[in-house]
């Protein structure tokens, strides 16, 4: 139901009914000006052009359905009554699309116009003959089948659902649950795009404020590299639900207030408690809904964000432990900057500083793909991109989440190598509970298993290939940097200093630990250690009383936050969270669950990842100061989503592995390959993949920065620096 109480929208009472102050009104005007200056609003001419394109598309599908009805053998009178209707959803329907954005559309047709026979064949042929249509690209075997094309230079993603209706009425209402009666799963997923979008708009108290806030958050997510559902971050519908929930909790707030509350609430959210806009109901049709009590796989969802339309599903099931950590870090950073903006110590531009992905980690994986022509490369990229999340999950599963990967959300192209695309992942390890222990992770088997699953692509053609290699930060190719120029070290230091966040050391019971000291550098050179790398900046912890902490989330003490450590260049980003019993491994062994690297257990591709921990302090090289973050004092969060912490919450997920059954699926794909393919893959792995080594800091001269580096196999270990003593 849209309203759980006649007085408010959502599943709980609002946190605050306060309206904007004069300062909030001024800040909202600044936000709107910032969005306009960033070019996020389309012109009136473009808006009119989009409406004309939608009108032309509607005429096209109405002509198509009459032709399809005639081909089905119906009489002429029935042909004239046949109808199909176009609906919009996504950013266009929500009113937050920008210039050049595509339009998500749904075509609804009668039961006799089937998807494969008439939509992907008959309609496809009609569109192919239209001179206004270009880049026609059908994807019939996708999770949600889609027909992509450009109509009058406007990008269209067209879904299809044939209902049980004999004739589609012009006043069809998709919000009724009965619309899902006697339709297949693909049609349910296609219909839910429109149903969820419309339901979100019904569940927010102030649509203009919602749209401004959502437009802001979408742009922020893209700038900070956390906007991508397929990679494992959050997509458009996820951001819309998160913003809608904040609008419910602060129904009278202005956009500037909602932005600050967004970061305040979600930097403290006790994941994996779900974000929901309305109560989850079973519904009359018996369709499966999100319920971790019944579905074991759903217990492993990291950041459940539940769609508000029946059947309610988790829209963020792609989020992994690695990407969840990055998201929480970014929410905490956003909160700090919003507080600084409120104190006139920062501007909105600071919030949108691009994420320095290629400066944060020492070690990266480079996934390069190639094809023989543009069409093959586009299809190959889509497939590989959809599998990158599986590689992240394999790292987490086979190393018991001791090795984490941060995938970059976009691909890169090298102008000197046409028909090539590259993806990158930053690698780091968690801080172990026993730093004196040493462990070795051999990830060659993981990479081989990933490559085999990718090469099992059903529509793979000759020339479609993939390579995976290890790249040090100093060897990152120049084409990934703006203008092809690597940032100087002094600039990177300034960027890191401006990104420093305030954090508290909070224990499991919510008590605040001793604040950590800070240090600053006046000379960039003083920040370098003996290896030529930069030290991490210790973080200043703001004071917070235990009483304030206790009131942060409904008076519950157990804040669901992790102790984490930033990896600045020259240091390893890790976590003080205690690993599982089997997480700390012997230096010469690998986890029992690790996929074998070859049939005889020997090395296959040289991707050998070694870790070493020691209490011994490196000569003159101080370790990173660890600071676990907790939310600052919040005056309005006492009543935040009361369902969050209830032990008897019927939809509260239990922890579990999101990867159950992964190996079985991979084995099934591997089995589909012939022995020649496996042998060929192993040979290529031997030739292409060097040993993946993650060295610790060492005394050495500054290396030359080049984009093309002759790599040699090395056997080095990654040393985690000892934890510093707490400031007295």
Q: What is the pLDDT of residues 277-321, one digit of tens each?
A: 999 988 888 889 999 999 988 999 999 999 999 999 999 999 999
Q: What is the pLDDT of residues 142-166, one digit of tens each?
A: 889 999 999 999 999 999 999 999 9
Task: Evaluate whether 536 touches 576 at the Cβ level (below 8 Å).
Answer: no
Q: What is the pLDDT of residues 569-603, one digit of tens each?
A: 333 233 333 333 332 222 223 334 445 444 334 33
Long-range CB contacts (< 8 A, 24+ apart) of 333-336?
Answer: 333/499, 333/501, 334/220, 334/262, 334/263, 334/267, 335/260, 335/263, 335/264, 335/267, 335/631, 335/632, 336/501, 336/502
Q: Which of 379, 264, 255, 266 is nearest to 316 (CA)?
A: 266
Decide if pLDDT at 401 tops 70.
Answer: yes
Q: What is the pLDDT of residue 557?
A: 26
Q: Please, which pLDDT band fits residue 136 given cuts at 50, 70 and 90?
A: very high
Q: What is the pLDDT of residue 232?
A: 94
Q: Which of 250, 244, 241, 257 is nearest to 207 (CA)?
A: 244
Q: Which of 647, 640, 4, 642 is nearest to 279 (CA)?
A: 4
Q: Please, which pLDDT band fits residue 422 given cuts at 50, 70 and 90?
A: very high
Q: Which of 613, 599, 659, 588 is nearest to 441 (CA)?
A: 588
What is the rounded average pLDDT for all residues in the chain?
74
Q: What is the pLDDT of residue 434?
A: 60
Please give the DSSP secondary-structure letter assigned to residue 9. Answer: S
**C-alpha dihedral over 114, 119, 120, 126, to 10 degrees?**
140
Decide if pLDDT at 646 tops 70.
Answer: no
Q: Please, which pLDDT band fits residue 429 given cuts at 50, 70 and 90?
A: confident
Please give the DSSP secondary-structure letter assigned to residue 514. Answer: P
Q: What is the pLDDT of residue 607?
A: 52
Q: What is the pLDDT of residues 546-572, one digit of tens each?
A: 333 333 333 332 323 232 333 333 332
Least confident range of 174-183, 291-300, 564-573, 643-652: 564-573
Task: Evaluate whether 337 touches 351 at the Cβ level (below 8 Å).
Answer: yes
For residues 337-344, average pLDDT: 95
Q: Please, which pLDDT band fits residue 141 given cuts at 50, 70 and 90?
A: confident
Q: Please, which pLDDT band fits residue 487 given cuts at 50, 70 and 90?
A: confident
Decide if pLDDT at 665 tops 90.
Answer: no
Q: Are strands 403-407 and 85-89 parallel, antiparallel or unpaired?
A: unpaired
Task: Evaluate whether 221 touches 213 at the Cβ level (below 8 Å).
Answer: no
The more confident residue out of 633 and 368 is 368
Q: Which of 273, 277, 285, 288 is nearest to 240 (CA)?
A: 277
Task: Evaluate whether 165 touches 106 at the Cβ level (below 8 Å).
Answer: no
Decide if pLDDT at 351 tops 60.
Answer: yes
> Residue 177 to residues 172, 180, 288, 314: CA-CA distances in angstroms?
12, 6, 14, 18
107: part of which helix (H) or strand (E)? strand 103-109
The more confident residue out of 400 and 576 is 400
Using CB atoms within 10 A of its CB, is residue 625 exposed (0-12), middle (13-18) or buried (19+)? Answer: buried
Least confident range of 53-67, 280-294, 351-365, 437-451: 437-451
Q: What is the pLDDT of residue 120?
A: 94
Least confident range of 92-106, 243-257, 422-436, 547-561: 547-561
For residues 247-274, average pLDDT: 96
Long-range CB contacts (< 8 A, 24+ apart) of 76-83?
Answer: 81/167, 82/110, 82/167, 83/110, 83/167, 83/168, 83/169, 83/170
Q: What is the pLDDT of residue 437?
A: 53
Q: Could you tell me where the DSSP H helices lie in 267-344? A: 321-342
Q: What is the pLDDT of residue 285?
A: 86
Q: What is the pLDDT of residues 268-287, one digit of tens each?
A: 999 999 999 999 988 888 88
Q: What is the pLDDT of residue 46?
A: 93
Decide if pLDDT at 219 tops 80.
Answer: yes
Q: What is the pLDDT of residue 442?
A: 79
189: part of which helix (H) or strand (E)? helix 185-203
Question: pTM of the full predicted structure?
Answer: 0.72
Decide if pLDDT at 706 tops 60.
Answer: no
For residues 228-254, average pLDDT: 96
Q: What is the pLDDT of residue 595?
A: 52
Decide if pLDDT at 712 tops 50.
Answer: no
3-state secondary structure of 422: strand
For residues 175-179, average pLDDT: 91
Q: Which residue has the tokens 């001179």?
A: 131
Q: Which of 239, 244, 175, 236 is nearest to 203 (CA)?
A: 244
CB-based contacts of 329, cutoff 8 Å, min separation 6? 564, 566
The more confident residue out of 633 and 453 is 453
CB-based contacts of 88, cutoff 8 Å, min separation 6? 54, 103, 104, 105, 106, 194
For residues 23-32, average pLDDT: 95
Decide if pLDDT at 475 tops 80.
Answer: yes
Q: What is the pLDDT of residue 700?
A: 34
Q: What is the pLDDT of residues 491-502, one digit of tens each?
A: 544 444 444 443
């Amino acid at each position: 139901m849209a309203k759980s109480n006649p007085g408010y929208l959502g599943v709980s009472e609002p946190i605050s009914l306060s309206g904007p102050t004069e300062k909030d009104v001024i800040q909202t005007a600044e936000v709107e000006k910032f969005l306009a200056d960033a070019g996020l609003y389309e012109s009136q001419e473009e808006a009119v052009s989009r409406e004309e394109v939608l009108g032309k598309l509607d005429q096209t599908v109405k002509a198509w359905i009459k032709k399809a009805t005639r081909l089905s053998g119906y009489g002429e009178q029935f042909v004239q009554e046949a109808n199909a209707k176009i609906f919009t959803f996504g950013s266009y329907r929500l009113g937050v699309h920008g210039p050049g954005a595509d339009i998500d559309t749904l075509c609804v047709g009668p039961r006799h116009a089937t998807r494969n026979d008439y939509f992907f064949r008959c309609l496809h042929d009609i569109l192919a003959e239209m001179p206004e249509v270009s880049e026609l690209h059908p994807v019939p075997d996708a999770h949600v089948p889609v027909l992509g094309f450009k109509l009058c230079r406007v990008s269209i993603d067209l879904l299809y659902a044939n209902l049980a209706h004999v004739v589609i009425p012009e006043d069809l209402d998709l919000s009724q649950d009965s619309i899902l009666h006697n339709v297949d799963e693909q049609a349910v997923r296609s219909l839910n795009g429109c149903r969820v979008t419309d339901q979100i708009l019904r569940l927010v108290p102030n649509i203009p404020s919602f749209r401004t806030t959502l437009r802001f958050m979408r742009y922020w997510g893209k700038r900070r590299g956390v906007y991508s559902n397929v990679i494992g971050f959050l997509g458009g519908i996820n951001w819309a639900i998160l913003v809608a929930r904040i609008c419910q909790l602060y129904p009278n707030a202005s956009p500037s207030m909602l932005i600050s509350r967004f970061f305040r609430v979600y930097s403290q959210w006790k994941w994996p408690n779900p974000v929901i806009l309305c109560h989850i109901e079973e519904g009359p049709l018996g369709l499966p809904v999100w319920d971790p009590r019944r579905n074991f796989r759903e217990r492993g969802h990291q950041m459940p964000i539940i769609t508000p339309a029946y059947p309610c599903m988790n829209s963020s099931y792609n989020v992994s432990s690695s990407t969840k950590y990055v998201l929480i870090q970014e929410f905490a950073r956003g909160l700090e900057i919003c507080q600084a903006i409120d104190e006139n110590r920062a501007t909105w531009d600071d919030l949108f500083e691009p994420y320095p992905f290629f400066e944060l980690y020492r070690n990266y994986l480079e996934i390069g793909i190639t094809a023989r022509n543009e069409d093959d490369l586009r299809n190959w990229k889509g497939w590989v991109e959809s599998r990158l999340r599986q590689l992240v999950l394999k790292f987490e599963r086979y190393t018991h989440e001791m090795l984490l990967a941060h995938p970059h959300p976009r691909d890169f192209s090298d102008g000197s190598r046409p028909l090539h695309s590259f993806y990158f992942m930053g690698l780091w390890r968690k801080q172990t509970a026993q730093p004196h222990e040493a462990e070795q992770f051999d990830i060659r088997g993981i990479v081989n298993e990933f490559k085999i699953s990718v090469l099992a692509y059903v529509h793979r053609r000759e020339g479609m290939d993939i390579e995976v290699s290890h790249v040090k930060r100093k060897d990152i190719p120049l084409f990934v940097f703006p203008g092809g120029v690597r940032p100087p070290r002094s600039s990177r230091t300034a960027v890191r200093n401006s990104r420093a966040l305030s954090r508290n050391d909070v224990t499991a019971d919510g008590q605040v630990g001793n604040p950590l000291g800070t240090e600053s550098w006046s000379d960039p050179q003083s920040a370098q250690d003996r290896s030529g790398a930069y030290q991490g900046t210790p973080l200043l912890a703001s004071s917070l009383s235990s009483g304030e902490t206790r009131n942060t989330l409904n008076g519950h003490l157990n804040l669901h936050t992790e102790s984490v450590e930033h990896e600045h260049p020259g240091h390893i980003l890790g976590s003080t969270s205690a690993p599982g019993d089997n997480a700390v491994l012997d230096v010469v062994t690998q986890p029992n669950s690790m996929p074998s690297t070859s049939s005889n257990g020997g090395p296959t591709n040289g991707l050998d990842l070694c870790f070493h921990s020691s209490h011994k302090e490196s000569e003159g090289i101080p370790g990173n100061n660890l600071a676990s973050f907790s939310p600052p004092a919040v005056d309005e969060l006492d009543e935040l989503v009361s369902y969050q912490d209830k032990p008897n919450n019927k939809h509260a997920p239990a922890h579990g592995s999101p990867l159950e059954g992964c190996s079985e699926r991979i084995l099934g794909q591997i089995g589909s390959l012939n022995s020649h393919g496996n042998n060929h893959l192993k040979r290529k792995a031997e030739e292409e993949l060097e040993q993946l080594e993650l060295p610790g800091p060492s005394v050495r001269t500054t290396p030359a920065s080049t984009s093309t580096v002759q790599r040699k196999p090395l056997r080095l270990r990654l040393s985690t620096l000892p934890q510093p003593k707490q400031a007295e």
